[in-house]
Structure 1
């Protein structure tokens, strides 16, 4: 029973359950109140009676700032996998979308207590959970302190159009405080009511203090509030309550503060007490009101913080070490305890921290950094320094990462990897020349393959062909590097427009890279990204999707976070031709997030371009407008062929929604995606009322596509040209032929959306051809043509129309000639439907 909170209970129940939510609808409920006001108890009471699926979690500023700590309950409940496994293969936004899919249409209420302490990755998760397309009605309840709601989650809710209920938990009335203090003498009950200021937690600890000091007349007899000053009363009362406990109860309280949960085996291990003393201590803590009464927390945050601050350092180190060794903890939970050891961590414990940090990098780089920085300050461990540098890059502190890597790159067994990562950092900092100089060492014939990989990857991003000597040297380093060299050679040939040679070089690359063991694929992920881009351009879509998906998982697993955006953007482009538009949007959105986190801004524009293309195939004009704005806000890539793609796509999307966009099309260079830019330019010309230029551009682009055997790009240009001919009312027969060829190509390539578009155009062209043909026939000839279409012979026609056979033959001959039909069967296709 919650004394004095009946009205608050009713208001919160109405906010959470009032009114039926439509599929996909979203409701945000903010429960705001000061520390100790009883938000947690109120929330627990209402959630216990809420209908449907309810998932409750909480944030914790002290010990739960690990990767997706506040989202763990949701993730593991909905996805049926441990968090440690989940974060290896996906980032927060991807996991949020996976949870949305797992929900299906099932309504859900999700409550986040102490939301002001959401860790960054959990905040990113909940923001994505709110904005992702969903079928399930969702209610998200955030309980937080005044004016401390998580801003990113609130912005996401507003962006998603959520209804917003804001409830404030105020002070308890004095009558309710007196009810809580009923067991005290009247003068003490009055003192509690006067000092608690309506705060139930403060009231409880004051009551406990008076129970220990029955002789006290007022609060000043048990607590020197005047000396402590305003706002310190609650903490002081809690500290006084803790000091009054028996030694065993204080020890158990410390154990709970370390563990963060009520776990009897864990408490026995951490405290060294037998079961009976532990149980007895828990009863004492319960009588003092120090244990929480909800399922989401063991101690109120104020109590936990007060307890932990008074734990001797040596005791805390030993307790965290024992806690980390408890069975049932996953690597991320163990790392949370090991991070508290700081300079006391052993080499093995540091190694375990590094392993966990690698797992956490993709989802929560800030957590990985927090775990490793204290250990880094006390010992020099190259493996730790490398992971810490990756985390710093992902947190946006590239300058600090570069400083750390410069020293690593000249010593230790990890020097090669450090140089590669340093080159990445220099590229991200706008210093490609310095990155190239760092990697270029012509006198070293035994250069590390990783350095060769980075040099080739850097060279593949410019317009000039990758030096063949580098590719030969790379290919000599073993099978995975042979495949990598072939992938880089392919993309280099595509960039320079030598498509047939690129196709030849690409044979077996996608399949070979996909079959590599994870430890080998990890070493050639740059090449895997090049292969996925090449697969998209050369119409090897299914294999490109398989490799892109596996390469992304591998990059996350091994902490290769600077490559995530490139792999994600390439995968998004490959998913679109396969008709997997939702998956493509999700991959592109994750690529944007990864690019922002890792500082690889070039990929933001490419990912947004993929989303604009997805909106085009959906034929959703409002979505196209949104994607156009996002594309305009994206930084223009410095890589030239990416830059041309972004500018071309932006101008095409603007033209399709009727907006002006400055764009000057230039024919060259004729790289592997040039036909796509011709298609964009032709579309822009057609929509601008310049059909002659549009036809010319489409024909020139089609010649390029056909010469390179770029079937999907050729199909797009045939579709563009055919639709333009139909809009202009010109030559429907030619339009029909173009659209029929495009449809056949799309169907063979299993590209459903463009195939449907071509089919619709083909049907329209056939209707126009029929109408045009019918207009050339006399009424009698049209009558004869319909009989021919029905399959009647000349003799049958003569009998039906009561004319001579010879007259029937003459009519049929004229029909075939006027329609340009080569056979009687073709007549049926050329007539309008009756």
Structure 2
């Protein structure tokens, strides 16, 4: 791609200008460009211009493309782009990262001298791979930057789109420009949404057809006006179609009558190749010498980027004859050389027509020849599977085993591809298969799992039901596991009632309700009741279960006790819940990872219960182990819940950077699963952690998306989505709007939420009303907080005392300071550092209002230290401002929260909150790139805001901004 071989470009002035702007922006940081247009519209030609522009700027680029007939190949376009570069580049990434990358990139597969699957690092969720690829791009971008060009992504596999989704939501911290091209009608919704997900860094260029005047320019002065008009009408202005029709008219006059008939009929929609264009390409290929045409057909079968030797095998040609034919193909510009002695067709549509021109039987035999040759060369099953799936005969045991092996190799990193190959293997098996074939039921179990974790829950649900129809009624163990998996997928699809009905129906078939398989299904019912905060229904099921029974394994015993913990807490029996939690901890610690294979999802509720009970060390220890087990066993369909629980605990302890990273992974898992529920769980934590850190725009954006995923089920997570967004709005400074939303969600304090969250909501509302100088309503919310907080839960009591301190500040600032200090002590005792910091800040403000500057300084100093250590930028900046007000000399530092308690009216020079943030960072000495990274903005956005700052302050330099901001903070 790129280079001086491109003919002069016709039109495209706006597209070229946009490409130039994107390349200029890539000099400063990350960017994402989507080139969108119909087949043949000129997307690849514009990507070539992008490559040329990158070279002119001495900006390295790599390019790859997805292929129509290899759509199931994992990460195909990314491997095509990067693999050759990796062969030449010495990487400094850790060995574990290299082993993980070796599971995807052939160039790195042999670095450790062992098969990639043998390393424990390969047994991870896809998110880990995505993050490692991001680090790889950051390294490849040093020191000159990198442009990653990926063409024809409408044919990309799910794994590639998931990776790109991660890159736009978690951009590389380097000068990396990712440019993609795809056809809009064939693009998946997730691919089409990438440019919007990229935010300010995303640019979409729509490649339109030529105008009639551009067609005349393209065809040149030797073509008559009438012929130009006819070609314009027949091609619809599509450049590739235009070129093909022009060649047909010029090179095959005998076909003119047929062509005219196509023109008279008009053109088919450009999402399908017009008949006239297909005819033109067929004429072009049929004009080739017979051996050259045979080689073209063999090449179309062999691969998108093909080696001559393999194409010759497909074409059944002797090597010398094949090379001679290849010379003819290159001479006629049917194929073009690439790198490493390989070739590819000049355009995917040419390959499409060459492939389609083969007879069906010949095509099957050609794929079979290629598959056999690859097997002789020792190629892995995953490389051969593409040809096997297109050539295998029904009942072919070797083909079935190859497809199963290939599926198992790629299962962890590309479960969608694994599902495709497993489905193909099953389709090749006779219904009454004997022992020479793999076990059909086991393959259906694997297929169900792959469909579940790849986000194809609808297909997985149908597979699971097929499996249930196959399994005999007395195979209760496998039936229970299948029903459990099917119920999980029904839930992910939002079919909560169907999930419950499925479980109940299977339970009716089991006569002994205390067997492990029956208990597995019964605790599934308990989990559903917990989601609804239906403690009465959950307790009714648990009352019918013993503590243990013969045949129960350690994992199942621990799971039942874990559920008792959550239900006891939900009933307000805190002491009982703590007792169950301690027992569950002992059982959990004594069991092996394998003991949790069937009931792992139950333990998410143990983590949440422990977080509500203030047992943070235990919760974190359990969450970390559960995440590890989920990854190593491939149970990513429940990983999102575990990650969310872990993020919640980390945030409560003030480890906000870690909490943010874990919440990001939980959200990525939800997107991969295409589950509204799992996605919302992650988004809730993204919203809460971002809000604590002072990144209010990101917090509100995540909160909005979480609420948008509310399915109306009325379950705990749907209420939490509204709570998280409301708290983010309050912290942003939209006090009344946020308070109204929060009251609408939890005002009656009885439905849909846990006690701990209700106490937090009441404290937030007391704080808002105090800031709005409404002490009576603030006192009312403090009363509610104290009524809800259980005396046995020190953390909740501390939050309730903080609510009381807010309510007292106006009338009794000295008393408020005492109560806030008490709250800080209680919160410090349990390790809830963010809220401890807020209590210290409240005590400092109250002491200052009471005129006790000495105590105010001490409390504010303590608050500043906590906020700084936790990474709570907004509250840290607010605390520093309060310190300056009482005469403490502190340096200027990071941006305040947009919604700091002073509100928008206190910002100097009429600056907006975002402009104020940027101005403070300028005063701190940060450059535009550093500001962009700190605030998760593009450099271009920072520059735009900064120009407005200059105008509002009335200065023309960064020094002037710094001087003005420092003066504005002096008392």
TM-score range, shorter chain: 0.7 to 0.9
Where does residue 395 of structure 1 map in the other structure? 456
Q: Specify the alignment match of 2:445 in structure 1.
A: 386
Instruction: State yes or no: 1:408 paired with 2:456.
Output: no
Out of 130, 136, 160, the residue aligned to residue 122 of structure 1 is 160
Counterpart position of 1:417:
481
Matching of residues 437-456 of structure 1 within 5 Å: 437-440=504-507, 444-445=511-512, 449-456=516-523
Deviation at 1:484, TM superposition (A): 2.8
Greater CA drift, 325-334 or 167-176: 167-176
| Residue 832 of structure 1: how far off its partner (Å) | 9.1
CA distance in 1, matches of 2:408, 2:124: 12
How many aligned positions are there? 757
1:298 to 341, 344, 347: 344
CA separation of 1:365 and 1:678: change in aligned 2, threshold 3 A? same
Q: CA deviation at 1:569?
A: 3.0
Q: Which residue of 1 aligns with 2:825?
A: 741
Aligned residue in 2 for 1:503:
578
Partners of 1:579 and 1:753 within 8 A in 2: yes
Residues 475 and 484 in structure 1, CA contact (< 8 A), matched pair in contact too: no
User: How far 1:308 sits from its partner (Å)?
Assistant: 2.5
1:132 equivalenced with 2:170 (yes/no) = yes
Is 1:488 matched up with 2:557?
A: no
User: Would you say the 8 A contact 1:581–1:614 is kept in 2?
Assistant: yes
Contact kept in structure 2, 1:4 and 1:173, CA below 8 Å? no
CA 1:41–1:352: 2 relative to 1, 3 Å: same
The alpha carbon displacement at 1:165 in A equals 4.8
Kept in 1, the 8 Å contact 2:292–2:326? The answer is no
Going from structure 1 to structure 2, the CA distance change for 1:473 and 1:66 (only over 3 Å counts) comes to: farther
Q: In 2, distance between residues paired with 1:134 and 1:471? A: 52
Provide TM-score, normalisation by structure 1.
0.74
What residue number does 1:52 align with?
Answer: 59
Q: Which residue of 1 aligns with 2:896?
A: none
The gaps in structure 1 that reach 5 residues or longer are 182-190, 211-216, 776-830
- Which of 237, 241, 263 is equivalent to 2:307? 263
Partner in structure 1 of residue 964 of structure 2: none
Residues 486, 499 of structure 2: 8 Å contact kept: no
Instruction: Write the distance in 1 (CA, Å) between the matches of 2:675 and 2:217.
Output: 60
Q: Cα 1:509–1:255, aligned 2, differ >3 Å: closer, same or farther?
A: farther
Question: Compared with structure 1, are the counterparts of its residues 151 and 418 closer, same or farther at alpha carbon in structure 2 (3 Å cutoff)?
Answer: closer
* CA separation of 1:638 and 1:510: change in aligned 2, threshold 3 A: farther
Task: State how 1:763-774 maps to structure 2 within 5 Å.
Answer: 763-768=844-849, 771=852
Aligned-residue RMSD, C-alpha: 5.0
Contact 2:336–2:344 (8 Å) recurs in 1 = yes
Change (3 A) 1:416 1:341: farther
The 5 A counterparts of 1:660-671 are 660-661=740-741, 662-663=744-745, 665-666=747-748
| Matches of 1:114 and 1:262, distance apart in 2 | 17
**Which residue of 537, 544, 553 maps to 1:478?**
553
Task: Tell me, yes or no, if the aligned pair for 2:41 and 2:207 is still in contact at 8 Å.
Answer: no
8 A contact 1:24–1:138 mirrored in 2: yes
Rg larger for: 1
Secondary structure (helix, strand or coil) at the match of 1:461 reads helix
Which residue in the other structure is 1:791 paired with? none
Answer whether contact 2:703 2:721 (CA < 8 A) is retained: no
Residue 124 of structure 2, aligned match among 89, 92, 99: 89
SS for the counterpart of 1:456 is helix
| Residues in 1 aligned to 2:699 and 2:25: alpha-carbon distance in whole angstroms | 31
Structure-2 separation of matches of 1:774 and 1:477: 59
SS in 1 for 2:842: helix
What's 1:143 paired with? 181
1:637-678 Cα distance to aligned partner (Å, 9 max, x none): 74755455455545555555321222454455999x413312
Partner SS, residue 389 of structure 2: helix
Taking the aligned partners of 1:515 and 1:327, their CA distance within structure 2 comes to 49
Cα distance change of structure 1 residues 333 and 314 upon mapping to structure 2, 3 Å threshold = closer
Displacement of 1:179 in angstroms is 13
Which range is displaced more, 172-181 or 271-280? 172-181
Alignment match, 1:112:
150
CA distance in 2, matches of 1:696, 1:122: 53
Q: Which residue of 1 aligns with 2:872?
A: none
Does the Cα contact within 8 Å between 1:390 and 1:561 map onto a contact in 2? Answer: no
The answer to whether the 8 Å contact 1:533/1:570 transfers is: yes
Instruction: Give the alignment of 1:445-594 within 5 angstroms.
Output: 445=512, 449-462=516-529, 463=535, 464-465=538-539, 466-467=541-542, 470=545, 472-473=547-548, 476-507=551-582, 519-541=594-616, 544-545=619-620, 547-548=622-623, 551-552=626-627, 554-555=629-630, 558=633, 560=635, 562-581=637-656, 584-585=659-660, 587-588=662-663, 591=666
Q: Deviations over 1:474-495 (max 9, x none)?
A: 6843333333333333333333
- Give distance in 2, aligned partners of 1:634 and 1:363: 26
User: Is the contact between residue 483 and residue 509 of structure 1 (CA under 8 Å) also seen in structure 2?
Assistant: yes
TM-score by length of 2: 0.65
Deviations 1:148-181, CA, capped at 9 Å, x for gaps? 7776445442450234455668599889878999
C-alpha spacing 1:623/1:505, structure 2 compared with 1 (3 Å) = same
Looking at structure 1, the residues matched to 186 and 335 of structure 2 have their Cα atoms a distance apart, in angstroms, of: 25
Structure 2: give runs of 5+ residues left out of the alignment.
87-92, 105-116, 224-229, 264-273, 432-439, 530-534, 857-885, 890-971
Is it true that 1:431 corresponds to 2:498 in the alignment? Answer: yes
Q: Distance in 2 between matches of 1:91 and 1:724?
A: 48
Partners of 2:836 and 2:137 in 1: CA distance: 32
